[in-house]
Each structure stands twice: as C-alpha cells, then as structure tokens.
Amino acid sequence: MSRDVFISYSQPDRECALELTRHIEAEGFRVWIAPRDVSPAADWAREILAALSAARVMVLLLSASSNISPQVRREVERAVHKQLPILPVRIEEVLPSESLEYFLSTQQWLDAFPPPREPHYARLCSHLKSLLSLEATTATAAVIAALPSAPSPASAPRPAKAPARQHAGTVPLEHSIAVLPFANLSSDPEQEYFSDGLTEELINQLAHIKGLRVVARTSCFVFKGRHEDLRLVGEKLVVGRVLEGSVRKAGKRLRVTAQLIDCADGYHLWSETFDRELDDVFAIQDDIARAVAGALGSVLATAGSPAMAGGTESVEAYDLYLRARALLGRPTPAAIERSATLYREALALDPRFALAWTGLARAMFYAMLYVPERARQAQAQMDQAIERAITLAPELWATHAVICQREIYRHHWQAADEAARRALAPGSDADSLLANGRYLLSVGRATEASAHLRAACATDPLSGSASAALQIALTILGHDEEADAEYRRGEDLVGNRHVAEHTALLRAWNRGAPPATLREHLRHYQDPVQMSVELELPALIEQPEAARHRLLRAFDDPAYQDSTRQFRLAVWAALFGDIDLALGALRRAYVELQSQVSFLIWLPIYRPVRADPRFKQLLRDLGLVDYWRASGNWGEFARPAGAEDFEAS
C-alpha cells in the first residue's frame, strides 16, 4: 500500500522516530517505518525498496548515529535515485557526513533540537502539508527537490545552486506538452478571441492528465504568430511534444485542425480535422484532449460536461465568456469595464455559469486596483460574484485563487491560507501556484513560498511574473547568487521586467555595490507608475541626507497618496537609512491604504527597520501576530516570546 512518508533513521534514534511518526500520523498522513511496517517473514531489503518506491517524501532523521549508518546511506541513495523529495530533520547538532553530504548537497534541513521537540514536529507537519498538497495537485511536483524549513546553520557548507534553466525538474520530456496558440483562419480577425479561448481550454483539459506536465498559457502564447523551429520551442519550454492547430469559424460552422508533434524530430504523432456545428465546440475540446491523451499513452482523468467543472452548455454564453476573459489579459480601466459587461451578459444567458461568476469577481478585483474611485462598489460586486461561484461550484480552484487575493488584500490571513490550499486543486494552473507563493511570502514563510514559485516557473517557464516572484523569494532568503541567475534568465521572459529590475537593484544595494552599478540598475528600472522622485535619486546616491529630505517631501505630497507609491517610498527610505520615514510609509501603505504586497517587509534591506520596536506594532496591526499565534507557524522571521510577546528578525 502506498504511503505518504517514509521515515529513515538509525536504530539508536528509534524512540525519536516513533515519536515523530505519531505526530505525523496524527495529522492524517500515512507513514511507513521499519520494523513496524515490514511484513512478517518478508525480505527486509525488498520491503524497504518497495516502500521507497511507493512513498511521496522521505523524512530523514539526521544524528551522529545516522551519519555513520550504512543502512541510512543506502536508503538516502535509493531515494535520490527515485527522485523522492527528502526532508532532513536534525535531532542533534551535527553536520552531514561526507557520504550523506554527497546526496544532500542541495538540501537544507529542519532543526528539531533542543527538547521539547513538539513545536519542531508541528513545523515539519506544516511543511509536509504544503509539499504533499503541491505534489498531489500539479504535475510539476518533480521540480521540488525538497521543502526545507529554515536556512542551514552558518557552519554548514553553502547549498549548491541549481542552474536557473532546470526549472522543469526531472519530468521526462515525453511526459510534457505545450499547446501552441491555435491560428485563427476565420475571415474576421476579431474572431481571434475564439481560437485563443479554444487553446486555453485545451491547456486546462490536458492539465487533468495525471503525470503530464502541461506548460501554462503565458509561456505558450509567447509563440503566437511565430513560426519557430519546434526543436527550439521544445528547448525553451522544456517539453517533448507540442500540440498546434487552427480554427476556422464561419457562421454556425466550425473547422478545427489539430496535430501532435514530437519536438525532437518533427514527427506527427497524431492529427485530425473536425468539421462540426458551433454547438459542438465542447465536444471538439473533449475529442482533441482524449485523442492527445491516447497518443501519449495516458488516460484523461476528468473529461465530461463543461457544466461539471463550473462551465456552461450555452455556446452563446461561452462565446461572451471567452471575449470577457481575453480583455483581462491587459487590465486597463476601459478593458475591465468592458470585460465586466460581457461577463454579466454571459450570466444573463446562463446564471449557473460558475466560471463566468469567477471571471466577474476577478474583473471587480482589478477594478479595485486600477479604478480606485469605484473601489467600494467593486468590492461589494466582487463579494457577490464569489458567493455565487462558490454556491454553484464549491471546489472550483479558480474561485479560490480569487478569494486568496481578496483575503490577502483584507489581511485575513487564515482565510487566505485556506483559499490558497483549495486553489491548488487538480487542473489548477501557474496562477494558483503564484497566488500561493505570494501568500506564503506575506506571512513570512519564504522557504515554502520558494517551492511553490519554483513549481510556477516550471509550469510557466517564460512567465516574467512567476520569475520575478521567485527572485523576490530568493532575495528574502539571502540566496542572491541563485536570484541573480534567475534575473539573467529574464531576457527570454514575457511581461514587464520592472519587478525583477527593482529586486536586482535592492540586492546590489544591499551588498554594497558601487554607485556606478546602482545608477546602471536605476537606468534599467522603468516602472509603469514611475515616481518623479525616483528620477532624481540617481544623482543623490552619494548624498543620503539630500535624498532623505527629498523623500520626506514626497511622503505627504498628494500625488503619492496611494499604497503603491507609499511602499516604494518606504523602500527608498530604508535604503537611505531613514527608519522613521520607512516605518511611516509602511504603515500608510499597508495599514491605512491596504497594499497587497506586504511580503516586501521581509526583504534584507528592511532588517534595520525590523529591529525597531515600532515594527512589532505594525505586524500586530497587520493581523500577522494573531495569525502566527493561532496557526503555530511563525515562519522564518518571527518567533513567540512567552504567551503575549514575540520577536521579529
């Protein structure tokens, strides 16, 4: 029988291993541990190998005795060979022996000493929940080599940095696919939304094939309208197969052509043309997905009526839904308004169309951000749309992704936690992983966040948003070399680079780069909401007093009274050493104006700010302390100090 967790330990640590097993099983996980789970009269070695093959993660108890145990070394070696994630748990203050370090060179570990060990076990169980939830709900789980809890001790060897190009992990190429945008061959160029929508629906359907890595929309649409060599496409997206095709829509008639191609040699594994009535569009999607699954030797796990997945049987409502969704790709105020109108028209035709309710909720969320004068009205409409979507399709992952964004905005951390977990349902995409990673960063759980963001980058390898979020997580964790490598990969990515450029600037500043280097970073940093004060800063890098005076004037300038500009002022104030101004701008941005990007407070540039006693009150006002105390998971930057107080670092 398959188990969630394989416990590897040496005989002198047996009581500790059994104690840990009880804690893990109390959380609902299935554990395999010897000798308890070895069948009577069975071949011991065969049983261990079978258990390792069936497990989803290994927990390794690291101690002086396990360091020299040949049995433990063989189990670890086998786990690495099986590409099994390993969570090392140190129960004594030792470093891995040379033989173990060879296999654990890219790992970090959780410290479970000194006694009592229960709080340490609780943290381990929390990490297991994140890892196993992620592994069970996305085919990109193989990219997560481990989900560590805390940075390695200063005395430990620095972990080896994986090359940024290896985001896809070890998923075999034949088990990976990209759906390139289907070409619009209709006489009306405006029908392109329909061919794009069909492409997205096929991506969503194929994501339900167990064990198949499906590249997300953002990366696939990089190749829209381009005729690149498929070998190059396969290399950039790290896939072995590509699905491409065309759509011709004329009145009520629809012709869809699709072909599945091997990237290595251009061989057509399958191709077919579908001539149908427009009313058959849903059946065509199912037929193509099933045919591709058959050609790949897989089984499509969840195909069926669109209504079963929160969809609609109405072709007219579906058409309006595709138009509305396409508009939110670039959420300008006009596009948001038009998108909301189209979603409402679709819902007038089919009030039970849960995906359209979710789309309307997302449009209203964007309205809160980009049309602030109607934020209160948009928030009420978003809440109503979410309520309808949840009533109609309680398990729809896309709705929970929107709820997660809403609850982060409101600083309702426990609700955001629940929504983030439910967003990671079968078939969910890189946006859910991204939302989950941002939530975890917000509550100071940067190591867990980095695992989700690595998975987002594996699912959407050309997404600038996923890459930028991963760079922030790596910067927060102090992994500057890896963050720099990911930054250099950004030249191939889609989307505005301003977040990545800003984070690279902060890393350079934090490590004391010379003024010329900082000015070069500032030259590349072009934000959509560039503040005039930022244009003046390059000349003031070597004049911190003048820079602080200029930032102080901007703090109360009416043009800077929004959350985005205030948190940016806080960043610059921290860089130029004005802790009072940094704290004031942080409070205005996060508490008074409810900025969503509260995870930035964990950046290294804020260490002097976090050392100020007033910072603790900011964390209380954000609701983070109540959440940490209630959940028991304090992340990497805070810890309880008695029943009432806490420490932040």
> Which of these three, 115, 130, 160, is where a domain ends?
160
What is the rounded CA–CA span in Å between residue 123 and residue 21?
Answer: 14
Q: Is the pLDDT of residue 146 over 50?
A: no
Return the sign of the alpha-carbon dihedral for residues 501, 507, 510, 514.
negative
At residue 305, the pLDDT reads: 40
Q: Look at residue 284 and tell me whether its pLDDT is greater than 50.
A: yes
Which of the listed residues 302, 321, 343 is the one where a domain comes to its end?
302
- Which residues lie across from 277 on neighbouring strands? 253
Do residue 106 and residue 247 come from a single domain?
Answer: no
pLDDT bucket at 159, cuts 50 / 70 / 90:
very low
Higher pLDDT, 7 or 592: 7
**155 part of a folded domain:** yes
pLDDT at 385: 93
Q: What is the pLDDT of residue 472?
A: 93
With bands split at pLDDT 50, 70 and 90, how would you rate the model's confidence at 530?
low
On whether residue 444 sits in a domain, the answer given is: no
Least confident of 37-51, 353-367, 542-556: 37-51
For residues 12 and 106, membership in a common domain is answered with yes
Answer for the pair 354, 376: CB distance below 8 angstroms, yes or no: no
Q: What is the model's pTM?
A: 0.66
Residue 297 has pLDDT above 80, yes or no: no
CATH number, domain at 204? 3.40.50.10610
**Do residues 180 and 151 share a domain?**
no
Domain match, 135 and 178 both: no
Tokens standing for 273? 């043309």
Closest to 221 in 3D by CA, of 498, 496, 497, 493: 493
User: How distant is the alpha carbon of residue 451 from its chain centre?
Assistant: 8
Residue pair 303/286 in contact by the 8 Å Cβ criterion: yes
Examine the domain organization and report whether 183 and 285 are in the same domain: yes
CA torsion through residues 230, 235, 236, 242, sign: positive
pLDDT given at position 550: 93
- pLDDT reported for residue 597: 60
Residues 19 and 142 in one domain: yes
pLDDT at 496: 64
Q: Which of 188-192, 237-241, 577-581 has the lowest mean pLDDT?
A: 188-192
pLDDT at position 489 is: 81
According to the model, what pLDDT value does residue 119 have? 76
Residues 146 and 267 in one domain: no
pLDDT in tens, 315-335: 888 888 888 887 876 668 888
What is the per-residue pLDDT for 574?
93
Angstrom distance (rounded) from CA 522 to CA 536: 10
Of the residues 271, 302, 333, which one is the last residue of a structural domain? 302
In this structure, the dihedral spanned by the alpha carbons of residues 422, 426, 431 and 432, taken in order and rounded to 10 degrees, is 20
Instruction: Write down the pLDDT at residue 27.
Output: 83
Using a 10 angstrom Cβ sphere, with 0-12 exposed, 13-18 middle and 19 or more buried, the burial of residue 579 is middle
Q: Does an H or E element contain 645, and which?
A: strand 645-648
Q: Is 27 exposed, middle or buried (0-12, 13-18, 19+ CB in 10 A)?
A: middle
Q: What is the mean pLDDT of the chain?
A: 81
CATH number assigned to the domain comprising residue 28:
3.40.50.10140
> What sign has the CA pseudo-torsion 523, 525, 529, 531?
negative
- pLDDT for residue 617: 94
Could you tell me the pLDDT band of residue 61, with boundaries at 50, 70 and 90?
very high
Whether 138 and 245 map to the same domain: the answer is no
pLDDT value of residue 294: 74
pLDDT at residue 29, as a whole number: 86
473 exposure class (CB count in 10 Å sphere: 0-12, 13-18, 19+): buried
pLDDT tens string 335-386: 899 999 999 999 999 999 999 999 999 899 888 877 767 778 888 999 999 9
The answer to whether position 516 is within a domain reads yes
The whole-angstrom separation of Cα 631 and Cα 146 is 22
Q: List alpha helices for 43-97, DSSP H.
A: 44-54, 64-67, 70-81
User: Looking at residues 554-564, what average pLDDT do you find?
Assistant: 86
524 pLDDT exceeds 80?
Answer: no
48 and 190 housed in the same domain: no
- Is residue 35 domain-shared with residue 83, that is, in the same domain? yes
Q: Which is higher by pLDDT, 155 or 503?
A: 503
Q: Per-residue confidence at 307, pLDDT binned at 50, 70, 90?
A: very low
Q: Residues of the chain with pLDDT > 70: what percent?
A: 85
Round to whole Å and give the CA distance between 73 and 78.
Answer: 9
The Cα-based distances of 203 to 137, 213, 359, 554, 618 in angstroms read 15, 11, 18, 46, 42
Highest mean pLDDT among 160-164, 167-171, 563-567: 563-567
CA-closest candidate to residue 312, choices 274, 357, 342: 357
Higher pLDDT pick, 80 / 153: 80
pLDDT for 495 equals: 67
User: What per-residue confidence (pLDDT) applies to 251?
Assistant: 79
> What pLDDT score was predicted for residue 473?
94
CA atoms of 416 and 590, how far apart (whole Å): 16
Assess whether 126 and 242 both reside in one domain. Answer: no
Q: Could you tell me the two tokens for 526?
A: 């072009």
More confident residue, 164 or 248: 248
pLDDT of residue 339: 92
CB 109 within 8 A of CB 91: no
Can you give the residue range of the structural domain that contains 83? 5-160
Angle at 558 between CA 376 and CA 408, to 5 degrees: 40
The pLDDT tens digits for 404-450 are 888 888 889 999 989 988 888 766 777 788 888 888 999 999 988 99
Nearest to 344 by CA among 360, 355, 328: 360
What letter would DSSP give residue 95?
P
Count structural domains, the chain: 3
CB atoms within 10 A of CB 613: 7
Inside any domain, residue 490: no
Angstrom distances, CA of residue 380 to CA of 366, 367, 369, 372: 13, 11, 14, 13
595, 566 Cβ separation under 8 angstroms:
yes
Higher-pLDDT residue of 550, 496: 550
Q: Specify if 18 maps to a domain.
A: yes
pLDDT in tens, 379-413: 899 999 999 999 998 888 888 988 988 888 888 99
One-letter amino acid at 371 equals V
SS3 at position 424: coil
Output Rg (C-alpha) for the chain, integer angstroms: 26
Report if residue 456 sits inside a domain.
no
Using CA atoms, how far residue 118 sits from 93, 342, 646, in Å, is 17, 53, 19
559 found inside a domain? yes
- Most confidently predicted of 142-146, 224-228, 290-294, 336-340: 336-340
Give the pairing of strands 176-179 and 213-214. parallel
Between the two ends of the chain, the Cα-to-Cα distance in Å is: 44
Please give the residue that has the higher pLDDT: either 363 or 131: 363
Tens-digit pLDDT profile for residues 598-629: 678 899 999 999 999 999 999 999 999 999 99
Sheet holding 110-111, edge to edge: 31-32, 5-8, 57-62, 86-90, 110-111
Lowest mean pLDDT among 254-268, 437-451, 501-515: 254-268
**Shared domain check, 129 and 196:** no
Tell me the C-alpha distance between 196 and 175, whole Å. Answer: 24
Q: Which two tokens stand for residue 451?
A: 């695992």
Structure tokens at 298: 């897989």
| Ramachandran region, residue 579 (left: φ > 0; alpha: ψ -120 to 50; beta: rest) | alpha
**Residue 638 forms beta bridges with which residues?**
648
Distance CA 356, CA 358 (A): 5
Q: Which of 470-474, 564-568, 622-626 has the lowest mean pLDDT?
A: 564-568
Q: Which residues are CB-contacts of 609 (< 8 A; sequence separation ≥ 6)? A: 574, 579, 582, 583, 586, 601, 615
Could you tell me the two tokens for 129? 């929940």
More confident residue, 608 or 643: 608
Convert the pLDDT of each residue in 473-495 to its tens digit: 999 999 999 999 888 887 667 76
Residue 387 lies inside a defined structural domain of this protein: no
Looking at residue 300, its pLDDT comes to 46
Of the two residues 229 and 164, the one the predictor is more confident about is: 229
Whether the Cβ atoms of residue 214 and residue 200 lie closer than 8 Å to each other: no
C-beta separation of 240 from 234 below 8 A: yes
The arithmetic mean of pLDDT across residues 563-569, rounded, is 83
What gap in Å lies between CA 53 and CA 44, rounded to an integer? Answer: 14
Report pLDDT digits (tens) over 164-185: 333 344 455 677 899 998 888 8
